[in-house]
């Protein structure tokens, strides 16, 4: 198993780190809910007036919940949990250590949110979700973050190849923009640019030529193929005379 991933049966997700605390917290809550253990993180969940049988059942559930949470933590995160006696205490300690609402933590979270950049090889959807998680983490510390703030952080790092989209969004006006709308338009633009890329066209051209060859069995069928560059028939964009003349 990947050292950076935690497994809960068939469920896999990244192990907890300080930088993805909000995302980890949401995912572990889902895992606990699937196992009907989500009530164990509540501070008032321990029965106060129960017989020995009921208390034994609660202790088994508490131990199981603590184990599930512990298996998603690294060694550094486990250390502060050493003295915790219940899952609720463990959960409260985690929030206290990694999501303190102190001024310094708020400043750090704000700085990360305001300076977020897309990393090399990161997809657009992954980048948008990362910015959203940084915003949610800041809000959890009682920091002020609006949906427009998140949308602006997403748009802030876009390069000039997204200029047409930015102009269109600017014309729409801030009042009509939402993060979901920006996300939808960005993903559409990514797909549109991918469809226009030379490598995508090359693959599409060759697939179409191959389909014609298989269907007709004659090389003369290439006369039916339209070049994506000059829009003339008889060749593909890779072999386009006009395109090669410009190189």
Q: How far apart are CA 143 and CA 138, in angstroms?
A: 5
The SS3 call for residue 93 is helix
Sequence-separated contacts (24+) of 123-126 with Cβ below 8 Å: 124/186, 124/187, 124/190, 125/183, 125/187
pTM: 0.49
How many helices (H) does the chain have, and how many strands (E)? Answer: 11, 2
Two tokens, residue 50: 């129960």
pLDDT at 217: 44
Confidence of residue 219 (pLDDT cuts 50, 70, 90): very low
pLDDT at 216: 46
Contact call for residues 183 and 150 (beta carbons, < 8 A): no
Q: How far apart are CA 9 and CA 69, in angstroms?
A: 14
Q: Which residues contact 37 (CB under 8 A, 6 or more apart)?
A: 61, 64, 65, 68
């Amino acid at each position: 198993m990947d050292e950076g991933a935690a497994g809960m049966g068939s469920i896999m997700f990244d192990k907890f780190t300080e930088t993805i605390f909000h995302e980890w917290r949401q995912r572990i809550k889902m895992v606990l809910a699937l196992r009907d253990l989500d009530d164990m993180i509540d501070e008032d969940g321990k029965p106060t007036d129960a017989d020995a049988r009921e208390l034994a059942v609660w202790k088994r559930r508490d131990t199981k919940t603590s184990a599930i949470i512990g298996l998603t933590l690294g060694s550094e995160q486990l250390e502060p949990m050493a003295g915790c006696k219940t899952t609720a205490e463990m959960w409260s300690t985690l929030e206290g250590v990694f999501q303190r609402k102190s001024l310094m933590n708020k400043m750090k979270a704000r700085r990360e949110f305001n300076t977020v950049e897309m990393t090399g090889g990161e997809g657009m959807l992954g980048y948008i979700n990362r910015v959203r998680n940084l915003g949610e983490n800041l809000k959890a510390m009682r920091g002020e973050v609006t949906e427009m703030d998140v949308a602006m952080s997403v748009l802030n790092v876009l390069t000039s190849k997204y200029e047409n989209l930015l102009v269109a969004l600017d014309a729409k006006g801030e009042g009509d923009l939402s993060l979901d709308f920006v996300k939808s338009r960005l993903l559409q633009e990514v797909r549109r640019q991918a469809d226009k890329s030379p490598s995508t066209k090359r693959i599409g051209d060759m697939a179409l030529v191959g389909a014609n060859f298989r269907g007709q069995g004659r090389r003369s069928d290439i006369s039916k193929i339209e070049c994506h560059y000059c829009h003339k028939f008889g060749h593909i964009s890779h072999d386009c005379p006009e395109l090669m003349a410009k190189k």
